[in-house]
């Protein structure tokens, strides 16, 4: 008996079942956990992608790159959470985000969110859509937000907080 069979047998009465990459990715995207290489990369600063809370600007002696990520510096782009208003289309990554018919950003990750019952993901949009100094809030951006899903424009909602457990209360319970 191999390890997989042993785990499945031992957990049979507990409802254990296999979960693949897409199931795990769905949970990651719903909660807003970033994926290095898709959602964040070497040209992104922590404030642009919502990770400014990880920066210790008062660190004794400073740190290399401190001036480049000054929190007071205006950002040209912001990372947002995106949820399609129609539960049928799917998101992967790379889809265009539109505001009033003009492209204002792109999806960096996408999946079907089984907990929220809709396709959701993370994207980068122009700061003029959400504001360069906006802090966490729900339903940011002007009306008329759409995502181009395989040539079909689908109405969407943007947020600066994840759609699932935005305050992290469930995670800490």
Average pLDDT, rounded, for the chain: 87
Between CA 85 and CA 105 the distance in angstroms is 18
CA dist 95 → 22, 67, 172 (Å): 18, 33, 33
CATH architecture of 36-163: Beta Barrel (2.40)
Average pLDDT over residues 15-36: 89
Residue count of the chain, please give it. 173
20: Cβ contacts below 8 Å, ≥ 6 apart: none
**pLDDT of 4 strictly over 60:** yes
User: Cα(145)–Cα(155) distance, rounded to whole angstroms?
Assistant: 6
Write out the two tokens for 109: 């990750």
Tell me the domain boundaries of the chain: 36-163
Per-residue pLDDT of 96-129, as tens digits, reads: 999 989 999 999 999 999 999 999 999 999 988 8
pLDDT of residue 166: 85
């Amino acid at each position: 008996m191999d390890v997989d069979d042993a785990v499945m047998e031992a957990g049979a009465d507990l409802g254990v079942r296999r979960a693949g990459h897409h199931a795990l990715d769905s949970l990651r995207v719903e909660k807003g956990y970033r994926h290095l290489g898709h959602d964040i990369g070497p040209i992104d600063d922590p404030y642009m992608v919502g990770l400014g809370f990880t920066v210790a600007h008062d660190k004794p002696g400073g740190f290399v790159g401190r001036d480049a990520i000054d929190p007071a510096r205006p950002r040209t782009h912001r990372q947002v959470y995106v949820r399609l208003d129609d539960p049928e289309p799917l998101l992967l990554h790379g889809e265009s985000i539109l505001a009033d018919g003009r492209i204002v950003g792109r999806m960096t990750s996408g999946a079907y969110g089984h907990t929220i019952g809709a396709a959701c993901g993370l994207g980068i949009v122009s700061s003029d859509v959400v504001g360069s100094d906006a802090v966490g809030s729900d339903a940011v951006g002007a009306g008329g937000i759409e995502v181009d899903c395989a040539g079909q424009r689908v109405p969407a909602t943007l947020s600066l907080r994840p759609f699932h457990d935005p305050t992290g209360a469930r995670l800490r319970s």
